[in-house]
Chains A and B, each alone.
Chain A
Amino acid sequence: GAVVSQHPSRVICKSGTSVKIECRSLDFQATTMFWYRQFPKQSLMLMATSNEGSKATYEQGVEKDKFLINHASLTLSTLTVTSAHPEDSSFYICSAGRPGLANNEQFFGPGTRLTVL
């Protein structure tokens, strides 16, 4: 149990286009989902926390108008990178918290490699 999928696994796009990444909890309902990104040789960094039915909470330095997060159901959260630029090229990964879990336990998707040309 506790499987999280993420699509697409890899995307290459032109500068100025928007890219949507989906994160799904396959066998449980996730009231909270998290979005992280990882630049080369760096650690996974939390971008935002997404709660079903409410607005996402963004970490300092993350532009909410550039990284649109929608958590419309208990099994799906989407991250849209709007007007992507080469500096947005990174590895994006989501995680989901299952109701009843304590201690920040989270289950991760496999990630999405975004390359902006």
Chain B
Amino acid sequence: ILNVEQSPQSLHVQEGDSTNFTCSFPSSNFYALHWYRWETAKSPEALFVMTLNGDEKKKGRISATLNTKEGYSYLYIKGSQPEDSATYLCALGSGGGADGLTFGKGTHLIIQP
């Protein structure tokens, strides 16, 4: 059973500040790591899929890094805006393309104007 831990559980950040949070996972049997952004009453939105150790991906002001050897991924948001307020989910894929995902509990981010 995979165990995906996310920290912190919640985070209040001032508008304009940058922030980051963590996803930790067992380093063995790694296949793929996913980051999702989930706003209330909407569908989770895929941000990144990462598979290679040392991988770094970027989408606008949001970026993510992956360390499969030590079992963690960081998500960074630069210059936070109110629209960044959401729950950010990390999930692991354990096998091929047809397997379900194992999720962490998420980091609930609130951007204060």
Contact = CB atoms under 8 A, between A and B. Distances in A.
Contacts of B95: 104
Contacts of A108: 36, 43-44
B99 A104 contact: yes
Interface string B16-47: 00000000000000011010100001111010
Contacts of B42: 110
Contacts of B43: 4, 107-111
A41 B9 CA distance: 10
A51 to B, nearest CB: 8
A111 B39 CA distance: 12
A36 B72 CA distance: 24
B101 interface: yes
Contacts of B98: 31-32, 49, 51, 97, 104
A105 interface: yes
Closest 7 CB pairs of A and B: A104-B93, A46-B100, A103-B32, A44-B103, A43-B103, A108-B44, A43-B105
Interface residues of B, number: 28
Interface of B is mostly: loop
A111 B31 CA distance: 26
Interface of B: 4, 31-32, 34, 36, 41-44, 46, 49, 51, 89, 91, 93-106
A89 interface: no
B46 A44 contact: no
Interface of A: 4, 9, 31-32, 34, 36, 41-46, 49, 51, 59, 93, 95, 97, 101-111
A49 B100 contact: yes
Contacts of A59: 100
27 contacts: A4-B43, A34-B100, A36-B100, A36-B103, A42-B105, A43-B106, A44-B91, A49-B98, A49-B99, A51-B98, A59-B100, A93-B44, A95-B101, A97-B97, A97-B98, A102-B96, A103-B34, A103-B97, A104-B49, A104-B93, A104-B94, A104-B99, A104-B100, A105-B34, A105-B97, A108-B36, A108-B43
Nearest to B104: A43
